[in-house]
């Protein structure tokens, strides 16, 4: 069964890049009738906060991204310790005693010589007595995973095609700090094995991590002594950039709260992010199933995916124009019925704007100044007003015959007198909502003031 996962660290709120990753993993699982898992990567107790765990769940729920299961890394420490011990026994992890300053200096020296800044494996040359001496000085080791330099790393990436790495060009990654806390690499690989993850879809900034983790999967299977489990399939999608083409800090802080405050519908955000960076057109598709059916990694491009607020707003407006009264009923101003929604809907770019337009029905409206000629015209309108199934058509037809006006001079003073605006919803739909007495009162007020 296709199994994907989204694995955020609860050290902050989800931003638009995280949301896109979560959405694509959810869609990949749904497309194949598989499972989508939420994994909270909370191995760092100092930076992980429960309020962020709650916020991550709430944001995914708002977006309609439902997980079939949830795991917490903080509850799986025994598994990581067991995997670590097995890898240590197999000679695949080793202790290192360099300080951060020493490592930084070595990197600078290598870069100064025009060489790649790769860890030189100096810790492997230490004798038992040298290690004992370091620990007697109170220096606790951090631990690295030992890459197999004889094993070329290759995989067929779902987005980037065939990938090949020479492990000798990579540093042995630090997997555990001196205080015993974990870095991302090993717990993630252990979890993917234990949870039966079949597809890892993430940003292209993880490509070198994948190269390292592929060897970790092999080493974990070997250390466990079990049957060789299939390594997950990997796909690395291009990162999001702003409209100006740069990776922006703004995108890193743009999350669900910001979108909600602007009146963006979750369907609009999903419709945009589902296809951003693919060869498929970004369209205001509110039906998730349509988006899922068309989801295909082969359509993903290598170029950075441009996130554009204007495009999101355009899609949002189109989505709002598709929503039925039943879908929005709870979010409309008091008293607005289906006819009211139908009248104002074409003028909305967000549902929050409905209350502004509804004011045209309930009042008070802005009072405008009219010329003597227009006041006489509006007085005639009040006199000719007869209520019918279509009062606007009856009124404008009678006025056209009585005054000879047509086009803008016929319609605009009426709209201004009845709504206080030059533009807005269809007057034929508004008049029955305003009601005969109020329509007459507004016309007479405009005619005499």
Binding site residue list: 249
The answer to whether 266 and 63 have CB atoms below 8 angstroms apart is yes
Closest CA to 205 of 28, 17, 40: 17
Cα(36)–Cα(254) distance, integer angstroms? 24
Backbone angles phi, psi at 339, to 5 degrees: -65, -40
Q: What is the DSSP letter of 164?
A: E
Annotated binding site for ATP: 249
CA distance 288 to 65: 10
Element (H, E) at 84: helix 77-89
Q: Is 256 exposed, middle or buried (0-12, 13-18, 19+ CB in 10 A)?
A: buried
Helix, coil or strand: residue 378: helix
Tell me which residue of 337, 249, 246, 322 sits closest to 283, measured CA to CA: 322
Bridge partners, residue 292, by sequence: none
Helical residues (DSSP H) of 307-406, grouped into ranges = 309-320, 325-328, 338-344, 354-362, 372-384, 391-403
């Amino acid at each position: 069964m296709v199994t994907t996962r989204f694995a955020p660290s609860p050290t902050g709120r989800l931003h638009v890049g995280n949301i896109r990753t979560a959405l694509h993993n959810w869609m990949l699982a749904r497309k194949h009738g598989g499972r989508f898992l939420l994994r909270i990567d909370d191995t760092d107790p100092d930076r992980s906060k429960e309020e962020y765990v709650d916020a991550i769940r709430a944001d995914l729920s708002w977006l309609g991204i439902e997980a079939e299961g949830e795991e917490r890394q903080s509850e799986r420490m025994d598994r990581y310790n067991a995997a670590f011990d097995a890898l240590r026994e197999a000679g695949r992890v080793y202790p290192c005693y360099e300080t951060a300053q020493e490592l930084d200096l070595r990197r600078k020296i290598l870069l100064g010589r025009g060489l790649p800044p790769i860890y030189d494996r100096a810790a492997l040359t230490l004798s038992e007595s040298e290690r004992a001496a370091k620990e007697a000085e109170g220096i606790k080791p951090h631990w690295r995973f030992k890459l197999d330099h004889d094993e070329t790393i290759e995989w067929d990436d779902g987005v980037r095609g065939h990938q090949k790495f020479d492990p000798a060009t990579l540093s042995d990654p630090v997997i555990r700090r001196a205080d015993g806390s974990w870095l991302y690499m090993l717990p993630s690989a252990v979890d993917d094995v234990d949870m039966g993850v079949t597809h890892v879809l993430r940003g292209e900034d993880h490509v070198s991590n994948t190269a390292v983790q592929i060897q970790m999967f092999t080493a974990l299977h070997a250390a466990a002594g079990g049957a060789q489990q299939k390594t997950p399939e990997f796909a690395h999608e291009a990162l999001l950039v702003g409209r100006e083409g740069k990776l922006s800090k703004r995108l890193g802080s743009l999350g669900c709260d910001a979108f909600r405050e602007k009146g963006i519908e979750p369907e609009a955000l999903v419709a945009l992010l589902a296809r951003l960076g693919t060869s498929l057109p970004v369209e205001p598709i509110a039906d998730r199933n349509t988006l899922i059916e068309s989801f295909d990694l082969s359509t993903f491009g290598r170029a950075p995916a441009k996130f554009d607020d204007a495009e999101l707003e355009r899609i949002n407006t189109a989505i709002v124009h598709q929503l039925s009264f039943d879908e929005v009923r709870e979010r409309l101003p008091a008293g607005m019925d289906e006819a009211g929604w139908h009248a104002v809907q074409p003028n909305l770019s967000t549902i929050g704007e409905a209350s502004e337009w509804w004011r045209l029905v309930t009042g008070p409206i802005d009072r405008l100044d009219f010329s003597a000629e227009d006041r006489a015209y509006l007085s005639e309108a009040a006199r000719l007003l007869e209520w019918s199934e279509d009062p606007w058509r009856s009124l404008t037809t009678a006025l056209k015959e009585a005054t000879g006006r047509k086009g803008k001079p016929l319609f605009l003073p009426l709209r201004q007198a009845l709504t206080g605006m030059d533009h807005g919803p269809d007057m034929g739909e508004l008049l029955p909502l305003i009601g005969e007495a109020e329509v007459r009162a507004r016309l007479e007020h405009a005619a005499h003031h």
